[in-house]
Every structure is written in structure tokens, then in C-alpha cells.
Amino acid sequence: MAVTKGFGPETVHLAVRAGLTRLGENRVQEALPKVAAEPGVEWHLIGHLQSNKARRAVEAFGWIHSVHDTPLLQRLESIAHDAGAAPRLLLQVNLTGEPTKAGWEREDFLHALDRRSELVSTLRELRHARAAGLMTIARFGAVEEEARATFRRLRELRDRLEQAAGIGLPELSMGMTADAEAAVVEGATLVRIGTALFGPRPA
């Protein structure tokens, strides 16, 4: 997935003309004019999603990678019902313990793998939004083995959640330009590439 955050609609237009059809953005508000200009591509929201922007996100994005708790998951399902939409959702897990990262903390997510948990019940009851998998971000500057260990843990958590909920969760959104290869080795299906495609973001 080509990450166009920080770049304007003209760069997005050139990217689409070059054949890129799966684009990622971090902020809903920044993305809206780009989505309006290029409605024919597959748009992914990869940044933190505030609850008050959930409706705009469902309207603009086909994929939301940053579902960070069960109440947001439930809200997105309700909005999808009202909007007649079917966004694909990924649950973000914070496996590095960094306070700057959103998502379920690892221990909290482990507790949520119980078959009777609110998360598992909500996943089973989705009728409009569609749970697609999990997402994580490795520690910035992590060496390959550390990054691979983070991505491996996400894959293992995905496998356990599939068993607990009895549903398929085929997608693993993990890895960026610096650790893309490590992510692919550990099973990434969605890799977020920005710098390698577009260079450093404008200041």
C-alpha cells in the first residue's frame, strides 16, 4: 500500500497514473480532498481514529487499520449499518508498549481472546462492517530480529483470535519502508510504504 500522507492531491494523482491503486492516509481530514479527487482507488485509513471522526472515516475509506478498542469497533458497525457501507476493519495491537502508539496493549488483548469476551462477541455479531485482521507497528529503529519478533507475535495473536471467534482474519497489516522485508517474512499481507515510493515527507 502506498502511503501518501503529507503529500498533496497532485502527488496522489501522479501515483494513480503510475498504476498505484491502494493508497493509505493517516488523518481523516487531510485525506478527504484526496479521496474526493481519486474516488476510484482503494483508500486505507492507517492512522489513529478518533471516535468523533468515525462517520467521516466510514464514508471515505474502504479499509480502517486502526480500530483500537471494542467501543470503536461497535461504533463503526453501527455507522456502517446506517450508511449502508461495508468497511474492512483491522484491530490495532500495541506490541511494543510505547505510550505514543494506539491500540490494545498486549496483555489486554490476550485477555480479550477468551471466547466469552466482549471483543469476541462483537466480532461474531458484525453484520455490516467486516473484520479483516490485525495491525501493529514495530518500534522505530528496531533491528530486524526485534521487528520480526513483533510481527511474529501479531501473527500468533491473529491465529488465536481466529480460533476464539470462529472467523477468518486473513489480513496482517504490518511493516513500513524500513522493516518491510521483516514483515513479509513473518506473514504481512498489507505493508505500508511511503518513503521508498515518494521520498521524505515535505516539512
Instruction: Give CA–CA dist 79/155, Å, rounded.
Output: 29
Q: Which residues contact 166 (CB under 8 A, 6 or more apart)?
A: 124
At residue 102, the pLDDT reads 95
Confidence (pLDDT) at 203: 64
Q: In the predicted model, is pLDDT for residue 11 greater than 70?
A: yes
| CATH number for the segment(s) 2-198 | 3.20.20.10
* pLDDT-derived band at 54, boundaries 50, 70, 90: very high
Orientation angle between helical segments 9-17 and 28-37, nearest 10 degrees = 50
> At which residue does the C-alpha cell 492507517 appear?
46
Cell of 39: 474516488
Confidence (pTM): 0.96
Confidence class for position 142, pLDDT limits 50, 70, 90: very high
Residues 115-126, mean pLDDT to the nearest whole number: 97
DSSP 193: B
What percentage of the chain carries pLDDT values higher than 90?
Answer: 98
- What is residue 201's predicted lDDT score, i.e. its pLDDT? 84
Q: Is the pLDDT of residue 202 over 90?
A: no
- Name the residue ranges covered by the structural domains of the chain: 2-198
* Alpha-carbon distances, residue 70 vs 74, 112, 168, 201 (angstroms): 6, 10, 18, 33
pLDDT tens digits, 123-140: 999 999 999 999 999 999
